[in-house]
């Protein structure tokens, strides 16, 4: 569609055009029911079958074992910052009813804006004791979130109730490496985690990298969550992958003194009702299903991973040229955990940055201004941004640098 631009927004962001056309049709008539997807009951047999298929598409493409449930929630990734704390503290209470609060430790790996929000939320909720495993700002020459810290810096607690990390920091452009090489300095240090017979309370925020590549050591996670509006759909639905020992009965835990968990926020409620306890985000789940079917047809996460690597390499290459000319500075240096999804840099002068953004719009490229709180330039290249579009962006960057 020639009226559409190259959308590099950090989220909500580009969706595949073919999916948008299918979704238009689904709004009129969902799967031949004669009812549009925004009008159909979430309890209709057609939608119940559809949501099962979406779960199946996630399970098969990410190799999710039967030990884990796939659930759909609302409230975004941000609500999960609270929800994981409530549920995993309830689980810990059931496992260890008599421990003093100070020994219910919540471990946080803080590598950027979102994990920092998560740790602040844990402190606000006030159950247990919050421990900072590592804070990447302490490992930055400028005190910023611009790196994955060295493995030696992590101090995990021996038996925490929760261990939180964010796999891709959308604002800062910092990401753990893919796990293929566990000794890589930017990999998540799985080997340093306490040994816990496979029942570690490990929580990964995958909001901005979900389905962009395989998830390393997925089976060892207690909870993986991802709001949809980056790689897999519109805003409104959050995908959860929860190990089945992490579906505690909140009422039983509350009877032992744990904080009550609102019914709609208890993982057990979602699991017991196959994510249909109350009305889910029907339309958002529908579009997620369309995106994942298309992804499956294209070869799944492994195939898209290869494309995503090439896309990121191209933009970092162009960015490096600008840096060598002294025009801009990368937020994250090479080897420090550069994100494959969000490429972030700062022009030396604000005036140049504004011209770069304005020139991009003239070329049909939008959504490149950084997060309002950290500014800069951010190019987000989630799954639906094509390699051809990235080539256009790269050419624009080179042209712009050349005329400075």
List interacting residues with ligand PMP (CB under 6 A). 11, 76-78, 114, 166, 170, 205, 207-208, 227
User: Is the Cβ of residue 78 or residue 184 nearer to ligand PMP in the bound state?
Assistant: 78
User: Is the Cβ of residue 207 or residue 383 nearer to ligand PMP in the bound state?
Assistant: 207
Copy the structure tokens of residue 191.
């080997």
User: Is the Cβ of residue 244 or residue 264 nearer to ligand PMP in the bound state?
Assistant: 264
User: Is the Cβ of residue 77 or residue 289 nearer to ligand PMP in the bound state?
Assistant: 77
CB atoms within 10 A of CB 51: 21
CB of 73 to ligand PMP, least distance (A): 11
CB of 31 to ligand PMP, least distance (A): 27
When CB distances to ligand PMP are compared, the closest residue is 76
For tokens 């990410």, what's the residue? 62
Angle at CA of residue 20, ends 11 and 297, nearest 5°: 95
Q: Please, what's the b/e burial string for 190-224 (b: 16 or more CB within 10 A of its CB; e: otherwise)?
A: eeebeeeeeebbbbbbbbbbbbbbbbbebeebbbb
Copy the structure tokens of residue 217.
């050591």
CB of 331 to ligand PMP, least distance (A): 15
User: Is the Cβ of residue 11 or residue 367 nearer to ligand PMP in the bound state?
Assistant: 11
Query: How far apart are alpha carbons 80 and 74 in whole angstroms?
Result: 9
Q: Are 108 and 142 in contact (CB under 8 A)?
A: no
How long, in residues, is the chain?
404
Query: How many CA atoms are closer than 13 Å to the CA of 352, on its beta-carbon side?
Result: 16
CB of 94 to ligand PMP, least distance (A): 27
Q: How far apart are the first and last CA of the chain?
A: 32
Query: How far apart are alpha carbons 66 and 244 in whole angstroms?
Result: 9
CB of 324 to ligand PMP, least distance (A): 30
Q: Are 348 and 327 in contact (CB under 8 A)?
A: yes
For tokens 């299918």, what's the residue? 22
CB of 11 to ligand PMP, least distance (A): 5
User: Is the Cβ of residue 235 or residue 357 nearer to ligand PMP in the bound state?
Assistant: 235
CB atoms within 10 A of CB 349: 12
CB of 276 to ligand PMP, least distance (A): 21
User: Is the Cβ of residue 322 or residue 370 nearer to ligand PMP in the bound state?
Assistant: 370
CB of 232 to ligand PMP, least distance (A): 12
User: Is the Cβ of residue 258 or residue 270 nearer to ligand PMP in the bound state?
Assistant: 270
């Amino acid at each position: 569609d020639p009226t559409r631009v190259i959308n590099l927004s950090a989220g909500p962001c580009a969706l595949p055009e073919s999916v948008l056309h299918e979704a238009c049709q689904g709004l009129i008539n969902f799967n031949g029911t004669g009812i549009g997807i925004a009008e159909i009951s979430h309890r209709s047999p057609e939608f119940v079958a559809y949501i099962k298929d979406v779960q199946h598409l996630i399970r098969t493409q990410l190799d999710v074992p039967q030990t884990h449930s796939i659930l759909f929630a609302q409230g975004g990734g941000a609500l999960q910052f609270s929800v994981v704390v409530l549920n995993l503290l309830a689980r810990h209470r059931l496992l260890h009813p008599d421990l003093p609060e100070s020994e219910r430790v919540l471990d946080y790996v803080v590598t950027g804006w979102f994990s920092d929000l998560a740790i602040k939320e844990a402190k606000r909720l006030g159950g247990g004791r919050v421990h900072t495993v590592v804070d990447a700002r302490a490992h930055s020459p400028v005190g910023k979130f611009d790196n994955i810290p060295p493995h030696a810096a992590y101090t995990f607690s021996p038996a925490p109730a929760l261990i939180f990390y964010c796999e891709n920091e959308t604002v800062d452009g910092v990401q753990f490496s893919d796990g293929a090489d566990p000794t890589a300095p930017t990999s998540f240090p799985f080997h340093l985690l306490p040994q816990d017979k496979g029942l570690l309370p490990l929580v990964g925020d995958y909001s901005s990298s979900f389905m962009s590549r395989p998830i390393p050591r997925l089976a060892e996670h207690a909870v993986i969550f991802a709001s949809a509006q980056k790689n897999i759909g519109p805003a409104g639905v959050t995908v959860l992958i929860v190990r089945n020992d992490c579906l505690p009965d909140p009422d039983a835990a509350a009877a032992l003194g744990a904080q009550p968990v609102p019914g709609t926020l208890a993982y057990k409620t979602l699991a017991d009702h196959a994510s249909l306890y109350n009305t889910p985000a029907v339309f958002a789940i529908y579009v997620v299903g369309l995106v994942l079917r298309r992804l499956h047809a294209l070869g799944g996460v492994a195939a898209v991973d290869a494309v995503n690597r090439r896309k990121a390499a191209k933009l970092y290459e162009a960015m490096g040229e600008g840096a060598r000319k002294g025009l801009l500075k990368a937020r994250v240096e090479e080897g420090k955990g550069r994100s494959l999804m969000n490429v972030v840099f700062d022009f030396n002068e604000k005036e140049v940055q504004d011209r770069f953004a304005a020139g991009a719009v003239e070329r049909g490229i939008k959504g490149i201004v950084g997060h309002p709180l950290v500014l800069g330039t951010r190019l987000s290249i989630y799954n639906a941004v094509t390699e051809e579009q990235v080539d256009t962006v790269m050419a624009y960057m080179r042209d712009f640098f050349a005329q400075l």
